[in-house]
Amino acid sequence: MAARVLGQTVPLRVGWDDQKRTVMARLLRAKFSDARLAAALLATGTGQLVEVNTWGDRYWGVCAGRGDNHLGRLLMVLRDELLAELGPRQHGVRLAVVGSAARYFTPHTAVLARQRISLAIWRLRPQVVISGGCPKGGVDIWARDIAGVCGYTITRGDFVEHLPAQERWAPDGYQARNA
């Protein structure tokens, strides 16, 4: 907030209004070149991103339900670019993501878990992503959602949902509901 107030005292350079979105896009690319931050952005899935604020910024965000949301729009474009940059899948690499139901997570640890799943898929680019398949939410559902955003599907066979342990795992641990 102090930076915003200070920034309003500095005279703007000529043509700033025509350049500020380009400058912000470059800054966001630099910021999200950090793999953890890129994973956090990818973990937002395909949802709309809105920079909601209470200080009246209707250019970069939305205040009181009104605004242009240019920051949210730039973040969604960057998210699409990160998805497009995903390299080829690594042949023979399988990533199994299993864990607890959502009720065992605090809001903070839920965000961290989604980021870790996204980071693993984004960095490893496995040939197959395997999820626990628990229908009650949590890590298994997050893995499915994030894998879907990254282009993995059950129908193509590169995403596999296991049956939960209480529903008869195969002796080798790899019998899946969609295999």
CB 24 within 8 A of CB 18: no
Q: What's the rounded Cα separation, in Å, for the pair 81 and 176?
A: 32
Strands (E), the chain: 90-97, 126-131, 159-161
* Paired strand residues for 94: 128
Q: What's the rounded Cα separation, in Å, for the pair 31 and 40?
A: 12
What are the backbone angles phi and psi of residue 83, rounded to the nearest 5°? -65, -40
The pLDDT of residue 174 is 45
What pTM, to 2 d.p., does this model score? 0.63
The pLDDT of residue 133 is 66
Q: Per-residue pLDDT tens, the chain, 179 aa: give them.
A: 677 788 788 888 899 889 999 999 999 999 998 887 888 888 787 889 999 999 899 999 999 999 999 999 999 999 988 888 777 777 777 787 777 777 778 888 888 888 888 888 877 888 888 887 666 677 888 888 888 888 888 887 788 776 555 544 444 444 444 44
Task: Tell me which amino acid residue 93 is.
Answer: V
The pLDDT of residue 29 is 93
